[in-house]
Copies of this chain bind each other. A is one copy, B any other.
Amino acid sequence: MRIIYKLEEMTETARGWLAGGAVGFVPTRGYLHQGHIALIEAAKQECEISVVSIFVNQMQFDRQEDFTQYPRNMARDLQLLNRTHVDVLFLPRAEEIYPPNFSTYVTPVGPVAERLEGVTGPAYIRGVSTHITKLFQLVRPDIVYFGQKNAQQVAVVRQLIRDLNIDVNLRVIPTVRESDGLAMSSQNHLLSPVERKAAGIVYRALLAGKALAEKHEGRPAAIEKAMTDLIATEPLVQLDYAAVCQPETMNELDNVKPRCMLVIAARIGSIRLIDNFVWQEKGRWQM
């Protein structure tokens, strides 16, 4: 695995790949887990060249303390990555990729930027959009891989690829889960054993919402209430939102039917839990 720190070296390297095979790209914030490994394996299977980036982007955090407390462990990440045989690890330095005079943002508007994650963390949407646009320019991937877990990030990236005409294909890989259904996350290890047990309620609330939808409950509010009520039975978990929405725009829906998403965001202390199920065409669930 080759490690690239300098933006210019990344640019030159990516330019050299242009005449070669497909480049698969997995952008991450580090502290890698099995969810990331699934993305990297998909990239390695489909592409000649695989690239992982690790960068904790301060711009995506509304609160300085969340940025400071975000878990980091480069030694562990390197060990994991070496086992995946990924070709390149791109590790840009904050002072080079966001110099003091940085002043151009990629700004989505509409429900994808204003609802759900856009309400609880307005800096987040702009931060993700700006950063991924920059990475697309530097790495010039043919295919980019994201996990379904962070559904609004996926929706934002899909929208910016379309709106800015970026020549890249988006692959969305199913969420990887612990044995009790909890979605893998870099922050799960920060939970105490009691909190870790409580965290399973998010997955069970989604299962409850799914069951109701399959029983032909067509009212989004009824499904949202069922998920909310179940989360409320676990006093350690504070709900941010439990919503039924359109999976590409994050917009509200009038009816619950295939091509909708159940999405939950909650907190245990300062640890954020997000998860979703997507009800696809033909009634299959991506979960």
Residues on A facing B (Cβ under 8 Å): 7, 11, 14-15, 18-19, 97, 102-110, 112-113, 129-130, 133-134, 137-138, 140, 159-160, 162-167
Closest B residue, CB atoms, query A126 = B107
Residue among B7, B104, B130, B164 making CB contact with A159, cutoff 8 Å: B104
Closest B residue, CB atoms, query A103 = B110
Q: Which residues of B contact A137 (CB under 8 A)?
A: 164-167
Contact (Cβ within 8 A) A11 B165: yes
Contact (Cβ within 8 A) A164 B19: no
- The copy count of this chain in the complex is 2
Q: Which residues of B contact A134 (CB under 8 A)?
A: 163-165
Contact (Cβ within 8 A) A104 B164: yes
Residue contacts A-B, CB under 8 angstroms, 8 given: A103-B108, A103-B113, A103-B159, A104-B129, A105-B106, A106-B164, A133-B164, A140-B167
Q: Which residues of B contact A97 (CB under 8 A)?
A: 165
Q: How many Å from the CB of A114 to the closest CB on chain B?
A: 10
5 A-B pairs closest in CB distance: A104-B163, A19-B19, A18-B18, A103-B110, A137-B165
Decide: A165 near B105, CB < 8 A? Known: A18-B18, A18-B19, A19-B19. no
